[in-house]
Amino acid sequence: MSGERIDLQEGQARFIVPRDLFFNPRARLSRDFGVLALRAEADLQGHRLHVIDLMAGVGARGIRYALEAPVERIVLNDGNPAAVEAIRYNLQLNAIPSDVKVEVVCEQVHRLCYAVRLRDERFDWVDLDAFGSPSVYWHAASLVPRWDGVLYLTATDMAALCGKLRDPAVRHYGAVTRPWECGDEVGARVLLGALQQSAGERGLYYDPLFVLDEGYAMRIAVRLRYGASTFPVQHVGWLVKCMGCFSQTTLPLHVTVGRCRVCDSEDVQWAGPLWTGSLHDPEFLHLISVAARKAGHQAVLRLLRLMIDEVDSPAGYYAAPELGKRAHLRRLPPVDGLVQQLRQEGYIASRTHFETAGFKTNAPYPVIQRIAGQLQ
Ligand SMILES: C[S@@+](CC[C@H](N)C(=O)[O-])C[C@H]1O[C@@H](n2cnc3c(N)ncnc32)[C@H](O)[C@@H]1O
Ligand SMILES: [Zn+2]
């Protein structure tokens, strides 16, 4: 390949990135996580997987899948011919095992997904690594996984998801997002809620496998399910925050008025509609942990511990700095101490992978403030 470029090594893959093409080194964690999750999925299914990378860029992610996970067939697609040239070059740089069938395609996502569907092909794992909101693609992308197959998608429109830009949140997700202390989790849940609704239109739904908040991007893996009557209606609703006492709680979608259950204030803000169910499947997280332990991947293991810990906690979290300000504390409340004391008092409590200084609990906020004060 001619022109300016950089040479990189990530995982077992070597690749070049021409200066004018997109590659984000910060997305390494999500690519590592994807490789380990793919190994987990192959373990679960008991066979090598058929994978499609719908927006492959220079191919880093797809090539790593082919080299580092039990893959039988992989399709790498990008709509930009220059990216596809880089993918072909990068494939040559790496010794892809001869029993992995590799196909390179230069097509628009929608055209490719409909073509796959018309050919009656299906994939075990569908990667959709979009810039901005993935909503424009997810209808098409949902045509590609087999029943019970996995869609692993990215959203980078964090300003909309986390409540800084309201209009695009309404446009893309039909939802109100909020710049609350747990605004990023609200964003993940809005994303999941809207994704569910898009599947529900066609008698489908998704079981979340995991949500990974990387700060600048949200990664979500979901398993496609068939069945209108089993659509998880009970897990679509609102996250409500009291502006009087700061307690957070969820409400079902059909409830559209209400006061704070803790202090009876009418001054409550609503976020949603959003997904109020589990963000992670604990069994799947355990399988990824097994793969991460074998690989000795300490960063992913640390993240997984937090994700496993938060599985049974309620939606939304509180942040220690806000708590410190609201309770007029001299020192930042210690998150581990808070979680421990809340548990001792019989509440559900955990840390959260969304925020180092965050914690989840079903305790009313006045209880949290009292405990934080005692811990000073
Ligand atoms: C975020 S980058 C992909 C990065 C890559 N997955 C990685 O991990 O390095 C998005 C890619 O999608 C491609 N793309 C954007 N819109 C597309 C479309 N409608 N159809 C196909 N490819 C598209 C762009 O050319 C770009 O390479
Ligand atoms: Zn209240």
333-352 pLDDT tens trace: 999 999 999 999 999 999 99
Q: Kindly give the distance from the C-alpha atom of residue 265 to the centroid of ligand 2, in angstroms, as a whole number.
A: 5
Residue 294 to residues 122, 166, 290, 291, Cα–Cα distance (Å): 30, 43, 6, 5
Name the residue of 22, 53, 156 whose CB sits within 8 Å of the most ligand 1 atoms, as the mutation to test its pocket: 22
What residue ranges of the chain are covered by domains with CATH 3.40.50.150?
A: 5-231
Average pLDDT over every residue of 73-102 = 97
- pLDDT tier at 4 (50, 70, 90 boundaries)? confident
Q: What is the pTM of this model?
A: 0.96
* Whether CATH 3.40.50.150 fits 5-231: yes
Right CATH number for 317-376 from 3.10.450.50, 3.30.56.70, 1.10.10.10, 2.60.40.1730?
Answer: 3.30.56.70
Alpha-carbon dihedral sign for residues 83, 88, 90, 96: positive
96-105, 165-174, 191-200, 258-267: which has the minimum mean pLDDT?
258-267
Closest residue by Cα to atom 27, ligand 1, is: 57
What residue ranges of the chain are covered by domains with CATH 3.30.56.70?
A: 317-376
Average pLDDT of the chain, as a whole number: 96
Q: Which atom of ligand 1 is nearest to the CA of 58?
A: 9
Q: Give the closest residue to 249 by CA, choosing from 366, 369, 370, 363.
A: 363
Q: What is the pLDDT of residue 256?
A: 83
| % of the chain at pLDDT higher than 90 | 95
- Model confidence pLDDT, tens digit, residues 146-172: 999 999 999 999 999 999 999 999 999
Residues with CB under 5 A from ligand 2 (ion): 242, 244-245, 247, 260, 262-263, 265
Q: Give the closest residue to 116 by CA, choosing from 142, 152, 78.
A: 142
Q: How many CB atoms lie within 10 A of CB 8?
A: 16
Pocket of ligand 1 (CB under 6 A): 22-23, 27, 31, 55-57, 60-61, 78-80, 83, 108-109, 129, 131
Long-range CB pairs of 191-196, under 8 A, 24+ apart, other chains included: 191/155, 191/161, 191/218, 191/220, 192/220, 192/222, 192/274, 192/275, 192/279, 193/236, 193/272, 193/273, 193/274, 193/275, 194/135, 195/138, 195/153, 195/220, 195/222, 196/231, 196/232, 196/236, 196/275
Q: What is the pLDDT of residue 257?
A: 81
Q: Rounded distance, CA 193 to CA 283, Å?
A: 22
What phi, psi does 42 have (nearest 5°)?
-65, -40
Half-sphere exposure of 75 (CA within 13 A, CB side): 24
Q: Rounded distance, CA 210 to CA 36, Å?
A: 13
Q: Give the closest residue to 274 by CA, choosing from 258, 244, 252, 292.
A: 252
In the chain, count of helices (H) and strands (E)? 13, 15
Q: Kindly give the distance from the C-alpha atom of residue 72 to the centroid of ligand 1, in angstroms, as a whole number.
A: 23
- Model confidence pLDDT, tens digit, residues 289-323: 999 999 999 999 999 999 999 999 999 999 999 99
Q: How many CB atoms lie within 10 A of CB 233?
A: 14
Which helix (H) or strand (E) element contains residue 360?
strand 355-361
- Beta-carbon contacts of 45 under 8 Å, excluding residues fewer than 6 positions away, are 124
